[in-house]
Amino acid sequence: GAGVSQSPSNKVTEKGKDVELRCDPISGHTALYWYRQSLGQGLEFLIYFQGNSAPDKSGLPSDRFSAERTGGSVSTLTIQRTQQEDSAVYLCASSLAGSVDRGYEQYFGPGTRLTVT
């Protein structure tokens, strides 16, 4: 079946512009996660959705970052007034239900490579 998809796969934007990244989780997966990986760095957790609500937003690096999820499916991650340090690969994952301690594996999308010039 279809996996997690993300769009666009690559995005180059000028500093100061807003960008919107999209994630389509696996159908039926109620949990959705956003991570980012900066060049040469490890994975950084950003935010987690259970259904349409985000119990924990503390991983978002600044108030320029926001995320929403509608209909318990598609999620968008928006970065306002982009900065060069926002350049990274943004990864989305989904899992069948609940938080990770309930035994559900996360399935990762291919990522969106964002470059801020």
Does residue 93 belong to the site contacting other proteins (CB under 8 A)?
A: yes
- 100 touches other proteins (CB under 8 A): yes
Which of 11, 66, 89, 96 contacts other proteins by CB under 8 A?
89
Does 51 contact other proteins by CB under 8 A?
Answer: no
Q: Which stretch binds other proteins (CB under 8 A): 21-29, 48-56, 70-78, 80-88?
A: 48-56
Q: What angle do CA 66, 89, 17 make, to 5 degrees?
A: 50
Binding flag, residue 115, other proteins (CB under 8 A): no
Q: Tell me the C-alpha distance between 64 and 44, whole Å.
A: 16
Residue 30 is a binding residue for other proteins (CB under 8 A): no
Query: In whole angstroms, how large is the CA radius of gyration of the chain?
Result: 13
Shortest spacing between CB 16 and other proteins, in angstroms? 27
Please check whether residue 50 is in contact with residue 98, taking contact to mean a CB–CB distance below 8 angstroms.
Answer: yes
Q: Does 7 bind other proteins (CB under 8 A)?
A: no
- Give the three-state DSSP class for 88: strand
